[in-house]
Amino acid sequence: MASLDLGEIEYTMRSVIGEVSKVIYGLANEIKIITCAIFTGGHILIEGAPGAGKTLMAKAFAKTIRGEYRRIQGNPDILPTDITGFYIYSVDGSSRFIKGPIFANIVLVDELNRVNTRSQSALLEAMQELQVTVDGVTHKLNRPFIVIATQVPARLAYSAFPVSETLRDRFMVSMEVKYLNAELESKLIVEAHSLGIDIVESVTSLDEVVRAQDSILKSVYVSSRVAGYLSRLIEVMREDHRVEYGPSVRATLHTIALAKALAVLNKRDYVIPDDIKEAVRYTLPHRIFLTRHAKTEGVSEKTILEEALAKTPVPKE
């Protein structure tokens, strides 16, 4: 599959951002980061209270890329087959596979932390291997395949199941989405009649998104100095006595991928330290696991990250 010009990719990414921004207010940076994740094949974890626009945002992203959108509502009783699909067996011995909602390009898993541990495992295979296994038979998923999962804060979650560390590590980025401020909410009230998925335009195709994903990862340069900066930054976090265990190697690779997309948005074919510093704020916090004592002391994952950023020397250009 032929590579795309990085200038073309930057234009397409900005077009996607513009279309989604028509219906989602007050989340400019989050929309940018989600766009970068989609264009590097990464999954997205969003925490926020109900009614913050997460579902509309997922639908809007799917429409911009002409992708199929499916939604999975998290609940304690959901079965793996409710996600992956199942076989119907006939008396003559034949069988037919009924695809589940995981067979889409943009899959919204709403309230992931209400999905039981067994069913979380069904998501794990899909997100990591781009496939699902049902009754011993493996079914491939099509690219692009992006999971956008939401979780409500633990204090609001009913029948919550913690998202496993292994599954959390499969998400390229995580972010918190809050309610609009008074000014933006007033604007939304006035313009609500004209908002909706109908005003979002499709600006690219699934094939172009796949080509863009491959082109960004292959064509954007990362120097040894920039790579070393990220490695040292992560090492500082792993060695922090308040951290049970720090970001994984997968976190490092996801950070580089996101930084490459940020570089493209800034009209560069190489990554600079500022790209890394922006990327880690979304790729690392959900992969920092604190000791029990640190949690008791009120230490947050973001505190660990910000302190590590302050301690780690930035390489000069």
Give the side-chain half-sphere CA count within 13 A for 65: 30
Quote the tokens at residue 75.
Answer: 């609940």
pLDDT band at 156 (very low <50, low <70, confident <90, very high): low
- State residue 53's pLDDT score: 74
CATH superfamily, domain at 220-311: Magnesium chelatase subunit I, C-Terminal domain (1.10.8.80)
**Structure confidence by residue, pLDDT tens digits, 55-78:** 888 999 999 999 999 999 998 999
Work out the burial of residue 168: count CB atoms within 10 Å of its CB; fewer than 13 is exposed, 13-18 middle, 19 or more buried: middle
All structural domains of the chain with their residue ranges: 6-210, 220-311
Q: Say which amino acid occupies 185.
A: E
Quote the tokens at residue 151.
Answer: 């979780």
**pTM for this entry:** 0.92
CA nearest 37: which of 216, 246, 232? 216
Which architecture, in CATH terms, is 6-210? Answer: 3-Layer(aba) Sandwich (3.40)
**Structure confidence by residue, pLDDT tens digits, 195-254:** 578 899 999 999 999 999 999 999 999 999 999 999 999 999 999 999 998 999 999 999
Q: Are 290 and 242 in contact (CB under 8 A)?
A: yes
